[in-house]
């Protein structure tokens, strides 16, 4: 009788060198290669979300991509031909910020190109995020640095994913800034434009004052921030009307007061006017169903613009625009035309050029001195809108941007999107509910333009008028092949 010697289990499993051994082996054998000739019915396609190339990956990235990899492996096991690529989201705001901080530079498109430019810092030593501490360079020089750093980052990203052992077909790797990706994106935009789905407008825009660019609704997140309610009186025909606001610095931009149409306290005031404190500007008292009777004093100040609700009120009540915030997040130098007397202009001059924070401090002091503010500010914590990659609260400024209709301002289109969502199988099903809530929560069309330098250019040009200025109503576009 013969016996087979039992295998011994080592005290510690040796995993050193496994990635170096099996990674090249899988590549050489095409273990995870996608067969482009496979029948469509047998293809399982994964729309891999490309990670943003803006530094280093963390355990959260790794954790999320293992979910996708498990699905890819299972689908192969049951006989599917799996299309599983990897891409790099290597253009836009996060990439530009990384390049600025890494090299200690910032883009100034008015500067000429410098052949053979060498950045002031290498290896990430230019760590200041303040524009004043960064050397201005031309757009072409800046884009060259963006391309250089993203390629280096992408090599590190790929090495990490390979080390992890993701079952990706690396021959299908793509970049969102590549010529092919740009051509696809630009052609899609031109098709949107020809079908009337894309349009431009001068409109209130969610604005990141650090990046100085427009931001889409899908890129927002709420963050709890400290604030304070300020109880402020407006002079009415029968005495003061008190509001409670967290944005007293926007009083010069006030265009109306608003209360709920069923609020008996303010029904006698609807259609009448009151005067703004400090500036003495007459504004109407109006009714709107979005006003909350149980919030603050029940009557709110409509400014252009303090938040998204202000935009809704401004649009639906057909109010004037008296915006006072510039692209840099500071109070503009010129007061709105309705501030016409010397006293109002003098007060506004004290605010001009200040940040929102400094302007708030100044106007609170002025309101306290004039007796228009009652009591001390009441501290609160409330959700504030931020750009998901930003570090300062978003403001709303009026800018010219490009939009694509997405149902945010079209009920019929919104209902169509809901119906299309019902044709998909969501796993788990509560994600379908989340999708429907997202569609129903859209407050405006999809803003697609950005005030950036390293990204996919919108393929339009404008005719110039007799003075050499662009005529935005006369758009020139290339022919789509």
| All structural domains of the chain with their residue ranges | 25-177, 219-387
Q: Which tokens in the block code for residue 316?
A: 């639906």
25-177 placed in CATH 3.20.20.390? no
Q: Give the whole-number percent of the chain exceeding pLDDT 90.
A: 69
Residue 89: DSSP 8-state:
B
Q: What is the model's pLDDT at position 481? A: 61
Q: What is the model's pLDDT at position 223? A: 95
Is 98 in a helix, a strand, or coil? helix
Q: What is the model's pLDDT at position 15? A: 75
CATH topology agreement for domains 25-177 and 219-387: no
Q: What is the model's pLDDT at position 264? A: 94
Q: What is the model's pLDDT at position 131? A: 67
What DSSP line would sit under 39-53, residue for residue? -GGGEEE--PPPPB-
Q: What is the model's pLDDT at position 128? A: 60
Q: What is 219-387's CATH topology?
A: Isoleucyl-tRNA Synthetase; domain 2 (3.90.740)
Average of per-residue pLDDT values in the chain: 90
Q: Write the pLDDT tens digit of every residue in 324-369.
A: 999 899 999 999 999 999 999 999 999 999 999 999 999 999 999 9
Stretches where the chain sits below pLDDT 70 are 1-7, 123-131, 481
Q: Assess whether the previous peptide bond of 305 is cis (omega < 30° from 0).
A: yes
C-alpha 89/C-alpha 51 separation (Å) is 6
H-run or E-run covering 194: helix 179-194
- Could you tell me which residues come within 8 angstroms of residue 257 by beta carbon, excluding any fewer than 6 positions away? 234, 241, 243, 269, 274, 283, 284, 285, 286, 299, 300, 301, 302
Which residues on neighbouring strands pair with residue 107, listed in sequence order?
A: 137
Residue in the structure block whose two tokens are 């950036």: 452
Which residues on neighbouring strands pair with residue 475, listed in sequence order?
A: 462
- Could you tell me which residues come within 8 angstroms of residue 43 by beta carbon, excluding any fewer than 6 positions away? 80, 81, 82, 83
C-alpha 179/C-alpha 177 separation (Å) is 7
Which residues on neighbouring strands pair with residue 463, listed in sequence order?
A: 471
Instruction: Check: CB of residue 139 under 8 Å from CB of residue 453.
Output: yes
Q: Which tokens in the block code for residue 127?
A: 């760590």
Q: What is the model's pLDDT at position 169? A: 94
β-strands 220-236, 105-107: how paired? unpaired
Q: How many CB atoms lie within 10 A of CB 12?
A: 5
- Could you tell me which residues come within 8 angstroms of residue 71 by beta carbon, excluding any fewer than 6 positions away? 46
For residue 134, count CB atoms less than 10 angstroms from its CB and return exposed for 0-12, middle for 13-18, buried for 19 or more.
buried
Q: How many CB atoms lie within 10 A of CB 353?
A: 14
CA distances to 166, 228, 244, 262 from 351, in Å:
56, 19, 21, 37
Q: What is the model's pLDDT at position 145? A: 95
Q: What is the model's pLDDT at position 49? A: 86
Q: For residue 244, which phi and psi values (nearest 5 degrees)?
A: -125, 120
Which residues on neighbouring strands pair with residue 257, listed in sequence order?
A: 285, 301
C-alpha 265/C-alpha 293 separation (Å) is 9
Q: What is the model's pLDDT at position 46? A: 94
**Polymer length in residues for the chain:** 481
Q: What is the model's pLDDT at position 125? A: 57
Q: What is the model's pLDDT at position 423? A: 94
């Amino acid at each position: 009788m013969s016996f087979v010697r039992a295998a011994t289990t080592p005290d510690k499993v040796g995993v050193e060198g496994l990635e170096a051994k099996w990674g090249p082996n899988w590549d050489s054998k095409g273990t995870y290669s996608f067969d482009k000739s496979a029948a469509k019915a047998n293809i399982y396609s994964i729309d891999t979300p490309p990670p943003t190339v803006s530094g280093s990956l963390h355990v959260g990235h790794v954790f999320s991509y293992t979910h996708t990899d498990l699905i890819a492996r299972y689908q192969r096991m049951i006989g599917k031909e799996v299309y599983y690529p990897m891409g790099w989201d290597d253009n836009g705001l996060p990439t530009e910020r990384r390049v600025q901080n890494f090299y200690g530079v910032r883009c100034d498109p008015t500067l000429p190109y410098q052949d053979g430019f060498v950045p002031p810092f290498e290896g990430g030593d230019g760590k200041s995020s303040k524009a004043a501490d960064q050397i201005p360079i031309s757009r072409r020089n800046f884009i060259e640095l963006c391309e250089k750093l993203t390629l280096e980052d992408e090599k590190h990203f790929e090495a990490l994913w390979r080390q992890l052992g993701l079952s990706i077909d690396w021959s299908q790797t793509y970049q969102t800034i590549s010529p092919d990706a740009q051509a696809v994106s630009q052609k899609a935009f031109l098709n949107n434009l020809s079908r009337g789905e894309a349009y431009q407008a001068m409109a209130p825009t969610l604005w990141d004052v650090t990046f100085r660019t427009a931001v889409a609704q899908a890129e927002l997140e709420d963050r709890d921030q400290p604030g304070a309610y300020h109880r402020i009186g407006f002079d009415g025909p029968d005495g003061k009307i008190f509001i409670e606001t967290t944005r007293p610095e926007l009083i010069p931009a006030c265009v109306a007061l608003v209360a709920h149409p069923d609020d008996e306290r303010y029904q006698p005031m609807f259609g009448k006017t009151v005067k703004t404190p400090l500036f003495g500007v007459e504004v109407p008292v109006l009714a709107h169903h979005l006003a909350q009777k149980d919030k603050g004093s029940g009557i709110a100040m409509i400014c252009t613009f303090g938040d998204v609700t202000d935009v809704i009120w401004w649009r639906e009540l057909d109010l004037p625009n008296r915006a006072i915030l510039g692209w840099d997040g500071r109070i503009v130098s010129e007061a709105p035309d309705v501030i016409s007397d010397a006293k109002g202009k003098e007060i506004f001059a004290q605010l001009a050029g200040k940040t929102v924070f400094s302007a708030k401090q100044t106007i609170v002091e002025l309101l306290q001195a004039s007796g228009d503010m009652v009591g001390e500010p009441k501290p609160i914590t409330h959700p504030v809108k931020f750009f998901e990659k930003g570090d300062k609260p978003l403001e709303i400024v009026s800018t010219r941007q490009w939009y694509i209709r997405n149902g945010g301002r079209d009920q019929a289109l919104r209902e169509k999107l809901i119906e299309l969502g019902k044709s998909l199988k969501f796993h788990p099903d509560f994600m379908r509910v989340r999708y429907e809530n997202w569609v129903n929560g859209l407050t405006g069309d999809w803003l697609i333009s950005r005030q950036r330098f390293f990204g996919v250019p919108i393929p339009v040009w404008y005719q110039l008028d007799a003075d050499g200025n662009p005529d935005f109503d006369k758009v020139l576009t290339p022919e789509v092949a």
